[in-house]
A and B are shown apart, each in its own frame.
Chain A
């Protein structure tokens, strides 16, 4: 019997994109089920009854939810092209920084782009503080994973994808190359990688989507 491997995702989900890239790096064939989050399929609700979100990976009838949990599952199930380091300390560091990315960096970036006035100044400073930590982590490496893209790079993929789009929409240059040379270089290296590039969601469609999402916030200019 052929192995069943399915991924429930949306065309734009930054969380699902982590899994898309991971599966590509591992060279795995799978079926994509594209979801409309305004009209979720019965299967999605059955497979992820708690969060009702994408991504969901289905492997031989077993379902796995939460993108970072899925990445670790993929890495432990298929041993080629390891995503996480072997060393337990390095692994712990990757997990720590991935959590930092989701819990702190992501909200700070979003707030920096959509807030106004004094709030925005503070939000930009907050985001910059977070970027400084990432700058230290890159420390002369091409990727967080070293020479090749790994778990932590995939965890931060949203940054490489969305920063450019949001800078385009808002006119705010949040990650400038002078202040954050390593992070800027990482963004370019990640985005230019053939595996990553091939699977980026369509740029114009993303701009349109985020423009619509940002409008209510940007309209508040006094």
Chain B
């Protein structure tokens, strides 16, 4: 029986965050691909509260919520650090990871799925929010410094998925004049060999996301 199991979905940035962290630490794990339209009894048993992926199961004990899992991985296994050692630096990393999930991602979804008059307003809002990130990454290679850290791992949706989705939605958001530093980070991130290994193939993801956009547009 595998000691470490991860319940996830190949296209989900949230389960990819966990895979990235496990690979960073050199942890062997079994990946269980879930069908979110028909969730397995095991997933429902391991995450009765949210019934969502990702769920990490370590020696039979389940942990849910990707940022919680990332910290658990950092505290359990040796290897490159996901969070810094200094308490203040750790607080900053936690703050920015939370900002990504609570502010950036919802604003991004809103911009991509909005239509009509709402769209331009949503687009301006997400640019304003990403402007805050742009300011934070100025002068740094990664949010974690010279190496990727918690915020970079959590930033996979913003760093990779976002570009594909905005292209499909016909939106221009991360421009050189409005978000130059953030744009630089996206390039750095996507060119980082370790990150590249842990992202779903672009062509497969485009097909998947395109289908979702079409379904959404048809349903209106």
Contact in complex: B49, A92 (CB < 8 Å): no
User: A63-91 interface mask toward B, CB cutoff 8 Å, 1 = contact, 0 = none?
Assistant: 01110011011001100000000001101
Known contacts: A64-B95, A69-B98. The answer to whether A92 contacts B90 by CB under 8 A is no
Q: Name the distance in Å between B193's Cβ and chain A's nearest Cβ.
A: 29
Contact in complex: A100, B94 (CB < 8 Å): no
C-alpha gap A133/B90 in the complex (Å):
29
Q: Label chain A's interface by main secondary structure.
A: helix
Minimum CB distance partner of B48 in chain A: A133
Minimum CB distance partner of A136 in chain B: B48
C-alpha gap A139/B173 in the complex (Å):
49
Number of residues on chain B facing chain A (CB within 8 A) = 22
B216 at the interface (CB under 8 A from A): no
Partner of B71, one of A59, A62, A92: A92
Q: Name the distance in Å between B207's Cβ and chain A's nearest Cβ.
A: 32
How many CB-defined contacts (below 8 Å) exist between A and B? Answer: 55
Interface residue ranges of B83-137 to A (CB < 8 Å) = 87-88, 90-91, 94-95, 98-99, 132
Contact in complex: A72, B90 (CB < 8 Å): yes
C-alpha gap A53/B75 in the complex (Å):
30
Report A-chain residues with C-beta under 8 Å of the C-beta of B88: 59, 62, 64, 73
Q: Name the distance in Å between A70's Cβ and chain B's nearest Cβ.
A: 7
Report B-chain residues with C-beta under 8 Å of the C-beta of A104: 49
B34 at the interface (CB under 8 A from A): no
Q: Which residues does B use to contact A, with CB under 8 Å?
A: 48-49, 58, 61, 63-65, 68-69, 71-72, 75-76, 87-88, 90-91, 94-95, 98-99, 132
